[in-house]
Every structure is written in C-alpha cells, then in structure tokens.
C-alpha cells in the first residue's frame, strides 16, 4: 500500500473509523468499513472485466454512494476516471468518450436509456455497467451482480504518486472542452491545501448538492475524506430540503454557487430551521457578487462565508479568503493556499506592480499534468511550470488577490479596457435585478461598446432608460451599457458559471478576438 496514494485514505479510515458514516444519502448510510468493502469488490470485478492500469473508465451518475465507490475502485486499479456531466447532449458525450478513449462506462440506473444511445452511436465503449437492482438492456452488466460475485480483498496493483487519476473536461465556456489530466500528486497536494486552510477537519459533515463530476466538488470531497469526514449527498439541489438535512444530519459546511445561495435567501420560512451546526457556506466555483455576500451576511449572521478562487487545471484550490477578511476585503478572493504560488504579469510576461491588472499565473504541485492528447494546448497553457489561467487580476499591498475578469471577456472601447465584472458587480446592487452578464458588441465608431443582458427579479419591471441612468450615476460613461437586453434566464454550466460564449452568439457579441 502506497501511503502517499489517495487510495490509502480508504484503508486508513476503515481501520481508524470503521463504524463512522462515510457517505449519507436518502437511500442509505455507509460506514468507512462498508465503503472499503464495496470499493474492493468493485475493483476486483472491474479487473475481471479486463480493466487495467492506465485504461480510461467513464462514469455518469447523479450524486450517489455508487458514484464515489466507482471513483475509488477505478483509482485502486490505477485506471483513469473520466466523469461525465449529466447535463450534456449526446454529441457532447460522444466527443468526450472518443477524445478520452474510454472503453468502459459505469452509470446510474437513471441513465440506462442514454447509455444505450451512447452504446449504439460509438464503438469506443466496450462494456456498460448499470447500478441498481435490475438492468433493462440485456447487453449491460448489473452493478449488484458484479459486487456479489467478487471478493473484498485488496486488489494488488502498483500505484505511484505520478499516476494519472482522472481527466476532467473543461466546461466549454469558451469553446470545445479540453481534458485536464489530474494526477495522484495533484490531488494529494490539493487536499492538503484544503486541510491546512482550516475550513475542513475530520469532524466535518459536508453537504454536496453540487455535482461530484465537477472539479471543485471532487477536490472538496477528497479533502474531506482525507481526514475521515462525512459527506451528505443529494441528487439535486432544493433549498428547503437542504436546510432540513442540515437540521437532521448536523451538516457543518455547504459548498455552494451563487444560484444556490440566492435560493437560500429566497426561502420564505428559512427561520424555522435549526442551522446551529452550520459553520459556513463555501463558494468559489464562479464569481459571487459582493452585493449577494452582503445579503447573506445580513440573513445568516452566524454562518461564515468562505470565498475562494480555483481552476479545473489546478485541481480546484488556488486561493482562499478567510472568514475574518470577509468584510475587510471587498470583492477579494483571498491569499494563495499553502502550496500555491501566484504571479500577475503583463503581455510580455513581466510581473506588474502592486495594484496593476495583469494575467494571473499559478504554480504548485496541484497544477495538472497536461491536456489529454493535446500537446499544443498544453504548451500554450503551462509555460516554464506556470499555469496561464486566462484570468485577469491584481494584488493589493498585503498580497490578497482580486479577480477582475476573464482575459477573453475584456471589452476594448475607443482604446479603453473595460472589465465586464466591474459593471456586473454594480448591476447586481440594483434591487430589481436577479442576474446579469455584460458583453462587448461591435460598434462602428468605438470598435466595441457595452451590452448588458439582464434577468429581473420575479414580478419586477425596469426600463432600459432607467437602468442606463442608474449606471451613468455610478460609472465612467465609457463603461456604461449602451445596449440592454432583458431575458428570462442566462445560459449556465452545471456549476453556475455563465456561458459568455453562448450569450455573445445570442446577443450579437464579439466572438473572435486577437488575444
């Protein structure tokens, strides 16, 4: 057993905390001893099916115990996990499966019909395993029948620190998704960053309504499990049910995106729940507007808010803003984690001065190995060990990081650089606005001008003229939106990130840029 491999946490926890709850779901509660037993049985079954070290195994699950058991079983064999987003279309699934060269798909029974379509449209997948008691497609393999037939002995496999653990395909907010290859070393150091931050301990009970195919959720889960913590899983997010679970299971941490946080605020009877166990909301998968943070502080004064900044390519953790700095550092994402370095550079890769805006570069043992089978994209992204994030930011005199915007989202109007996030932050303070995205649109005179795409709160009305006047009172005129579109909703990824590429396509934005 390799003591520095992520699979060792399972052996350690099953011996140290055999009867402690590892996973709680609506169907069952699994102890660490039971968790290890099922992981070993599945790993041995996969080996019998021919899965070997380095093979790619794809998964398609809602949050469930079977999902985490599968993850650990794949790691136990030295195979490489390819988690799939359950919100994709068939062509997107086929692209990822063919790109990753996955030969096996393991899925929840809810996805049997979709798995059958995938199977009929690609020769890449050789076997499909479906969890649940019954399999409705004759050629598929039943999860339970596999586990019952196998031993729970530790599968023998040489596991190394540099082994690739999983391939996470980026959300595609700027184009075709790329597969970020995360190694065991990446995940271990990322987990240590999470532990050292002080947010997590072995006593944590962490709720996951965020999907566990996402990099931030996976990073958070393994940091929790490293210390023998407990996770509570839900297939989908419902604010009332979540608060009921906080009360029942004594949940201590809720990782959340802005849409979830707004749902908590809009819960009409939120005061009837006992939330005394809840230490904090942890966020960072996407930008949280400062106005929303202030609303949360007012509504939940005894619950901390821990903001952060992370990337799929950095195994999730880059910076963390401690609760003590929440009010002191407005619109800030904090300081680098213990084993992370950050630089802010100009177009010539020179470090900028304190307070100046440049591209954020990240270095550390948590940086991905590569983009799978894409050496050109890898070489463009990782240069001399530094990950070029494509995010623009600045640091203050104390070293705290502020993410200004995506480099590709910056608007250049009449030679002036305009960062959409600044305008979005302002618009989020308007009492009638629920959500907003700002893009650049072509302009014959200025090259580009600003357009705001706005979602109003339910039952509210607002004219374009009044909103423009609101901006003119608070922004330099060249930053003010000259165009405003009102819409019912904004296109988002499964983790709540606004997909600017789609908004540009729908609303006449600049789609091709020289940078």
pLDDT confidence bin for 285, thresholds 50/70/90: low
Ranking 220-229, 408-417, 484-493 by mean pLDDT, the lowest is 408-417
- Residue 512, pLDDT above cutoff 50: no
Ranking 423-437, 474-488, 495-509 by mean pLDDT, the lowest is 495-509
- Give the burial class of 153: count Cβ atoms within 10 A of its Cβ; 0-12 exposed, 13-18 middle, 19 or more buried: exposed
248 phi/psi in degrees, rounded to 5: -75, -45
Helices 258-265 & 290-299, crossing angle to 10 degrees?
40
Residue 3 or residue 213, greater confidence: 213
pLDDT confidence bin for 199, thresholds 50/70/90: confident
Distance CA 99, CA 180 (A): 12
Average pLDDT in the 117-125 region? 93
Q: Which residues pair with 484 in a beta bridge?
A: 452
Residue 75 in contact with residue 165, Cβ under 8 Å?
yes
- Residue 412, pLDDT above cutoff 90: no
231-283: pLDDT as tens digits:
999 998 999 999 999 999 999 999 998 888 989 999 999 999 999 999 999 98
Residue 403 in contact with residue 392, Cβ under 8 Å?
yes
Q: What percent of the chain is predicted at pLDDT more than 90?
A: 69
Distance CA 269, CA 273 (A): 8
| Number of residues written out for the chain | 515
pLDDT confidence bin for 513, thresholds 50/70/90: very low
pLDDT confidence bin for 452, thresholds 50/70/90: very high
pLDDT confidence bin for 511, thresholds 50/70/90: low
Q: What is the CA radius of gyration of the chain?
A: 23
Average pLDDT in the 472-496 region? 89
Q: What percent of the chain is predicted at pLDDT more than 70?
A: 96
pTM, entire model: 0.85
Domains and CATH numbers, the chain: 31-160 (3.40.50.980), 186-407 (3.40.50.12780), 412-508 (3.30.300.30)
Distance CA 324, CA 318 (A): 18
Average pLDDT in the 126-147 region? 84
Pairing of β 416-418 and β 411-413: antiparallel
Determine the pLDDT at residue 108: 95
- List the structure tokens of 421: 């996030």
Average pLDDT in the 174-190 region? 89
Consecutive H or E run containing 96: helix 90-100
Determine the pLDDT at residue 408: 79
Residue 153 or residue 31, greater confidence: 31
32-47: pLDDT as tens digits:
999 999 999 999 999 9
Which of 90-99, 166-175, 403-412 tops mean pLDDT? 90-99
Q: Which residues pair with 455 in a beta bridge?
A: 435
1-29: pLDDT as tens digits:
677 889 999 999 999 999 999 999 998 99
Distance CA 105, CA 56 (A): 9
- Give the burial class of 461: count Cβ atoms within 10 A of its Cβ; 0-12 exposed, 13-18 middle, 19 or more buried: exposed
Residue 153 or residue 57, greater confidence: 57
pLDDT confidence bin for 291, thresholds 50/70/90: confident
Determine the pLDDT at residue 172: 55
């Amino acid at each position: 057993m390799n003591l520095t491999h992520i699979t060792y946490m399972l052996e350690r926890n099953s011996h140290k905390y055999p009867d402690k709850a590892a996973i709680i779901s609506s169907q069952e509660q699994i102890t660490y001893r039971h968790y290890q037993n099922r992981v070993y049985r599945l790993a041995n079954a996969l080996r019998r099916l021919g899965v070997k070290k380095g093979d790619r195994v794809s998964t398609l699950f809602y949050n469930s115990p079977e999902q985490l058991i599968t993850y650990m079983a794949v790691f136990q064999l030295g195979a490489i996990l390819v988690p799939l987003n359950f919100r994709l279309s068939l062509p997107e699934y086929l692209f990822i499966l063919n790109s990753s060269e996955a030969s096996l798909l393991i899925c929840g029974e809810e996805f049997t019909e979709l798995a059958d379509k995938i199977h009929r449209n690609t020769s890449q997948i050789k076997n499909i395993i479906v969890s649940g008691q019954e399999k409705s497609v004759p050629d598929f393999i039943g999860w339970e029948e596999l586990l019952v037939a196998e031993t729970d002995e530790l599968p023998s496999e040489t596991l190394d620190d540099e082994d690739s653990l999983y391939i996470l395909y980026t959300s595609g907010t700027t184009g075709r998704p790329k597969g970020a290859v995360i190694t065991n070393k990446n995940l271990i150091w990322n987990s240590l960053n999470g532990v050292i931050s002080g947010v997590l301990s072995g006593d944590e009970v962490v709720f996951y309504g965020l999907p566990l195919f996402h990099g931030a959720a996976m990073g958070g889960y393994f940091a929790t499990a490293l210390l023998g913590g407990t996770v509570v899983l839900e297939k989908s997010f419902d604010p009332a049910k979540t608060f009921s679970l906080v009360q029942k299971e004594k949940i201590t941490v809720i990782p959340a995106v802005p849409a979830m946080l707004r749902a908590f605020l809009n819960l009409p009877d939120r005061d009837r729940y006992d939330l005394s166990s809840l230490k904090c909301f942890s966020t960072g998968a996407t930008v949280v507007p400062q106005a929303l943070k202030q609303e949360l502080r007012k509504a939940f004064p005894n619950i901390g808010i821990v903001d952060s900044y992370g990337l799929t390519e950095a195994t999730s953790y880059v910076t963390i803003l401690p609760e003590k700095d929440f009010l002191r550092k407005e619109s800030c994402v904090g300081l680098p984690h213990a084993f992370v370095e950050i630089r802010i550079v100009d177009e010539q890769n020179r470090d900028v001065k304190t307070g100046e805006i440049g591209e954020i570069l990240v270095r550390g043992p948590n940086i991905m190995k590569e983009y799978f089978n894409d050496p050109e994209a890898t070489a463009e992204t990782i240069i001399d060990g530094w990950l070029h994030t494509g995010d623009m930011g600045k640091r203050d005199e104390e070293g705290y990081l502020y993410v200004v915007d995506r480099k590709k989202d910056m608007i250049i109007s009449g030679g002036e650089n305009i960062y959409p996030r600044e305008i979005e932050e302002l618009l989020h303070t308007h009492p009638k606005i629920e959500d907003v995205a700002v893009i650049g649109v072509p302009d014959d005179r200025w090259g580009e001008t600003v357009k705001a795409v706005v979602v109003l709160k339910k039952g509210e009305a607002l004219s374009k003229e009044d909103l423009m006047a609101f901006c003119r009172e608070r922004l330099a005129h060249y930053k003010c939106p000259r165009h405003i579109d009102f819409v019912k909703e904004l296109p988002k990824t499964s983790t709540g990130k606004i997909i600017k590429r789609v908004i540009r396509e729908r609303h006449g934005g600049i789609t091709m840029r020289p940078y």
